[in-house]
């Protein structure tokens, strides 16, 4: 084993990891169409990638209302729990650790994806300049309906139920998705939250929904098996805030009260440039957090090694490299070539571009 710190074991909350390389959550749109459940190919896919110190699953909706894209998995039905149990069994059989990412998309949805053709919900009735996939084509996300105060406890209860289902499915913990312009992020940002009640206005009020979700999820798992994903400076899904440094500084201070396993930050734009806007300071945000720090966005072998060696990060999440390299950890350890990614098979479909990428032992797919 290399003496490079990136490849050494660590403990994150209550979870022992064999290395500090994380498989990032990656939406692949391959859930069973009739019930949004994972099935055999998901067990194979995640099992192939169990060399990661930690796997974070693709985002999984906590309720039918939380769905925003066709063929994405959920964690709110018995069929979904059973499907995810196959996944956790496959990962654990290979010595891996895996957490489920809990997701409610809020306004990033469409009536054709909602129960009864209902309008998507959000903190405020403000449309996002964004698109979603309805199973046939990409469509504009419409103007959502603002949630009534008395509806919010029901959504919090959905998070609690989803957390309980994740435990029944055999996961090692959960990650609360509070990033990338989805429902929790929509409450946090003053560009999408124009409420004048206890959930809007001041940053203390805008963080209230996240606090209630964390109360629910931590009551199920304990803080040491819960992580949170934030994207402070990303404008994904048309999200914006007038002072993200101040907003997310407050958010992180609130999260410290839960004794969390880790904080997962998208650095810069989601899946895009790592640039931080004027007034933004990632190091300061990481410095506020009391637990393990996980960085995500565009890391390669060298930058990941450097970040962990310098104690800037405790964990590094890799996204697309894990899609085309099931044995990514071995490839990084040996400093060898990576398989080329086939962009045409990222979303939807079956095993092609999903479970058929070769390991080093099987040969590599060269970049063109």
Which residue blocks in 256-326 are alpha helix, DSSP H?
282-288, 301-309, 320-324
> What's the chain's length in residues?
368
Rounded CA-CA distance 139/309 in Å is: 44
Measured CA distances, 121 to 59, 111, 237 (Å):
18, 10, 15
Task: Give 39: exposed, middle or buried? Use CB within 10 Å, 0-12, 13-18, 19+.
Answer: middle
Q: By C-alpha distance, which of 61, 65, 15 is closest to 38? A: 61
What does the block give as tokens for 199?
């959930």
Specify whether the CB–CB gap between 196 and 202 falls below 8 A.
Answer: no
Rounded CA-CA distance 133/115 in Å is: 16
Q: By C-alpha distance, which of 244, 243, 242 is closest to 232? A: 244
* Cα atoms in the 13 Å half-sphere on the side-chain side of 276: 16
Radius of gyration of the chain (CA): 19
**DSSP string across 10-57:** EEETTEEESSSEEE-------SBTTTTB--HHHHHHHHHTTTSSEEEE
- Known catalytic membership, residue 182: yes
Query: What phi and psi values does residue 320 have, to the nearest 5 degrees?
Result: -55, -35
Rounded CA-CA distance 338/240 in Å is: 35
Specify whether the CB–CB gap between 176 and 213 falls below 8 A.
Answer: yes
Measured CA distances, 264 to 9, 24, 342 (Å):
18, 10, 27
Which residue blocks in the chain are alpha helix, DSSP H?
40-48, 78-93, 152-168, 183-188, 203-206, 208-221, 244-255, 282-288, 301-309, 320-324, 328-334
Q: Which residue has the tokens 């129960």?
A: 115
Of the residues 182, 258, 299, 357, only one is catalytic, namely 182
Three-state DSSP at 35 gives coil
Residues known to be catalytic? 182
């Amino acid at each position: 084993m290399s003496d490079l710190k990136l490849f050494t074991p660590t403990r994150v909350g209550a979870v022992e990891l064999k290395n500090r390389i994380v498989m990032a959550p990656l939406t692949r749109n391959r859930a069973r169409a009739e019930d949004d459940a994972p099935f055999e190919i998901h067990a194979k896919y995640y099992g192939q990638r169990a060399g990661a110190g930690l796997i974070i699953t693709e985002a999984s909706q906590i309720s039918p209302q939380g769905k925003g894209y066709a063929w994405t998995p959920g964690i709110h039905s018995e069929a979904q729990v059973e499907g995810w149990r196959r996944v956790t069994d496959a990962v654990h059989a290979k010595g891996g650790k895996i957490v489920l990412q809990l997701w409610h998309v809020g306004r990033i949805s469409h009536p054709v994806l909602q129960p009864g053709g209902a309008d998507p919900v959000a903190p405020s009735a403000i449309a996002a300049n964004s698109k979603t996939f309805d199973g046939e084509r990409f469509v504009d996300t419409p103007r959502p309906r603002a949630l009534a105060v008395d509806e919010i406890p029901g959504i919090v209860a959905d998070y609690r139920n989803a957390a309980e289902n994740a435990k029944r499915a055999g996961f090692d913990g959960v990650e609360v998705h509070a990033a990338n312009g989805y429902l929790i992020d929509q409450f946090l940002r003053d560009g999408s939250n124009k409420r004048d009640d206890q959930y809007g206005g001041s940053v203390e009020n805008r963080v209230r929904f996240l606090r209630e979700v964390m109360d629910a999820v931590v009551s199920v798992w304990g803080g040491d098996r819960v992580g949170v994903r934030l994207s402070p400076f990303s404008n994904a899904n048309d999200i914006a805030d007038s002072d993200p440094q101040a907003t997310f500084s407050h958010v992180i201070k609130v999260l410290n009260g839960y004794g969390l396993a880790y904080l997962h930050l998208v650095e810069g734009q989601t899946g895009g440039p790592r640039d931080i806007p004027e007034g933004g300071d990632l190091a300061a945000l990481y410095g506020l957090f009391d637990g393990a720090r996980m960085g995500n966005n565009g890391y390669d072998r060298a930058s990941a090694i450097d970040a962990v060696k310098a104690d800037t990060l405790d964990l590094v999440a890799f996204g697309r490299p894990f899609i085309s390299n099931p044995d990514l950890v071995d490839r990084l350890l040996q400093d060898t070539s990576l398989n080329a990614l086939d962009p045409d098979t990222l979303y939807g479909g079956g095993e092609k571009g999903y479970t058929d990428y070769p390991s080093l032992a099987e040969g590599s797919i060269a970049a063109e």
